[in-house]
Amino acid sequence: MLAWKKEFEFGIDVIDNQHKKLIEIGSGLFELVNDDTKDDYYDEIVAMLRELEDYTVTHFKDEEALFDAVDYMGSMAHKFEHKLFVKKLEGYMTDLEGIDSNQKETLLELLNFVADWLVLHIVKTDREYVPLLLATQN
């Protein structure tokens, strides 16, 4: 189960709201994994991948602009983590046939990857820029 937790909150509204939205998209994946009402989930999986990719690209851009504006020292390593995440999602999108023929496996793998990555990234990597951002906020 992927749900918003108090420990994810930074007190920076823009980021908190975008992280909430990401967790929401992730929990949509969870619901899809547990949905047994249909035989074919290809369209839903692809739509979810697109939504996730679009939203993360937007969020990463906003987040990077915020920490770059305060000359955050960990910027490069942080951006690299973002890049790898987008690359992984793009990897899925280049194998649409593979998604189609292994729908349940793809969904499960995707859910595990996204849930683990999101939580770890928020509580560890993102949290590191919080003191600096809060200190420089007016």
Residues near Fe ion, by CB under 5 A: 126
Q: How far is the CB of 114 from Fe ion (least distance, A)?
A: 14
Q: How far is the CB of 121 from Fe ion (least distance, A)?
A: 6
Query: Toward Fe ion, which CB reaches closer, 106 or 126?
Result: 126
Query: Toward Fe ion, which CB reaches closer, 96 or 120?
Result: 120
Q: How far is the CB of 78 from Fe ion (least distance, A)?
A: 6
Query: Toward Fe ion, which CB reaches closer, 104 or 124?
Result: 124
> What single letter denotes the amino acid at residue 39?
D
Q: How far is the CB of 104 from Fe ion (least distance, A)?
A: 29
Query: Toward Fe ion, which CB reaches closer, 41 or 82?
Result: 82
Tell me, rounded to whole angstroms, the distance of Cα 138 from its chain centroid: 28
Q: How far is the CB of 71 from Fe ion (least distance, A)?
A: 17
Taking CB positions, which residue lies at the least distance from Fe ion? Answer: 126
Query: Toward Fe ion, which CB reaches closer, 49 or 63?
Result: 63
What would the DSSP string read from start to end of the chain? -----GGG--S-HHHHHHHHHHHHHHHHHHHHHT--S-S--HHHHHHHHHHHHHHHHHHHHHHHHHHHHTT-TTHHHHHHHHHHHHHHHHHHHT-HHHHHHTHHHHHHHHHHHHHHHHHHIIIIIGGGGHHHHHHH--
- Which two tokens mark 102? 């292994």
